A and B are shown apart, each in its own frame.
Chain A
């Protein structure tokens, strides 16, 4: 068995790493508000969660400035390693726990992207991807061959690539089903309320669109249909690229109209893994791209 999603997984790993790196830079700039005892989210809540789940090993003393800096340094360091694909197993594991600590410390400050990163990241523990360093890839290849692990490595990588795809389908399907439970989603006016909210209307364009109720209804119902049907049509090869193009348009729209950035970009990045290696290879050959 050969993992024919390795290039897609490598692209997703790189982009995911870049997003995590960007987040850790943001956390570093805003460290006083995010981590210190007088940070935005109540410090007692962090201690309460640590005690409740009995996870003392995740307890960082955020009152100690050095521990905060060490935490942030490790975050930046391992996100660069992860982005480049070096020591992937270690960097994935470390990033997962560092982000889990961020989640516990800043429970109220999390967004959909944090949630998505935390569910996708651990799946990369089992996926072999291409790094950006040729000699490193050759070394790993030699080691795998020496211990006759090629078949196992390819098999586990293939299935965990599929697991990421299933996870994306779960995200869309349940987001769509949750929406179906709401009156304003069913009657097509949900976007009217969202785009008129000051928190989600970055420009006057968002509010202006709400004057045209038919556009609002069309966009609201399109969102529900897309989210529910994504998990069916993405598996049908003939429909796959149409679904991906519609998804990209949907998320670009969400970004510009609602200023939801990380989540929109991350889901667009995730589409990379749905495309098979032969398609990437054809593109590389056709446009003579040097990697």
Chain B
């Protein structure tokens, strides 16, 4: 008798768990209405799951950052994605593939601030955008590796969000014309620290 009760308890726990997961997934698909109570009280933070890889639509082209580093006397422009792309094949112990994905998230985060929240590109620095702060952190890491400027310089950056869209298959030109958003004159804090 005890084992029968035990079996039903175990089974019940598993069924309830997956029922909650199922509801959460159906919400993410838009099949049922938002269930913030379930999300706040059960799913987040411990049982979160996202399975919408490359969907509903995958990225239709290349989105990346080019950073222009500036001091009073000098400038250097770096495609901060390029080395990561090339390096991702070198070792199984690198985080390059993660960084590529992260830069994509940052790109979308900045874009959301500009397009959805209506924040002007000149005011974006003060908008506390996580994506932008992360890109600035990463720009600082790249700059430290370059040893290009002397450490006592104040370094500012212009960030270009490049958008290179693909045309549909069988089109004569594979890519559409490149577009970009320009974020100007952001100071790299604590450079060399």
Q: Which residues of A contact B (CB under 8 A)?
A: 1, 22, 25-26, 29-30, 33-34, 38-42, 44-45, 49, 53, 55, 100, 104, 106, 108-112, 115, 118-119, 122, 151-152, 155-156, 159-160, 162-163, 166-167, 170-171, 174-175, 177-179, 181-185, 189-190, 192-194, 196-199, 202, 210, 213, 216, 259-261
Contacts and interface: CB of A to CB of B under 8 A. Distances in A.
B58 A178 contact: no
B170 A199 contact: no
A42 B18 contact: no
A120 to B, nearest CB: 10
A155 B58 contact: no
Contacts of B48: 115, 118
B46 interface: yes
B53 A175 contact: yes
Contacts of A210: 169
A68 B109 CA distance: 28
Contact of A100 (B45, B50, B61, B105): B45
B126 interface: no
Contacts of A163: 14, 17-18
Given A53-B44, A174-B25, A259-B88, A45 B58 contact: no
A174 B29 contact: yes
A192 B169 contact: yes
Contacts, number: 186
B1 interface: no
Interface string B87-130: 01100111101111110111000000000000000000000001
Given A22-B92, A174-B29, A190-B55, 11 more contacts: A38-B190, A39-B137, A40-B134, A44-B133, A100-B45, A159-B11, A160-B10, A179-B56, A181-B56, A194-B59, A197-B61
A281 B113 CA distance: 58
7 contacts: A41-B134, A53-B45, A156-B6, A167-B18, A174-B29, A175-B53, A178-B51
B52 A261 contact: no
Contacts of B98: 106, 109-111
Interface of B: 3, 6-7, 10-11, 14, 17-18, 21-22, 25, 28-30, 44-62, 64, 81, 85, 88-89, 92-95, 97-102, 104-106, 130-131, 133-134, 137-138, 140-141, 166, 168-170, 174, 190, 193
B135 to A, nearest CB: 9
Contacts of A260: 97
Contacts of A159: 7, 10-11, 14
Contact of B54 (A156, A190, A213): A190
B193 A38 contact: yes
B95 A160 contact: no
A40 B190 contact: no
B57 A182 contact: yes
Contacts of B17: 163
A193 B61 contact: yes
A69 B116 CA distance: 41
A109 B10 contact: no
Contacts of B28: 174, 178
Which 4 pairs of residues, A with B, have the shortest CB-CB distance? A182-B56, A178-B55, A178-B52, A108-B102
Contacts of A192: 166, 169
A26 B93 contact: yes
Contacts of B104: 199
Contacts of A261: 92, 97
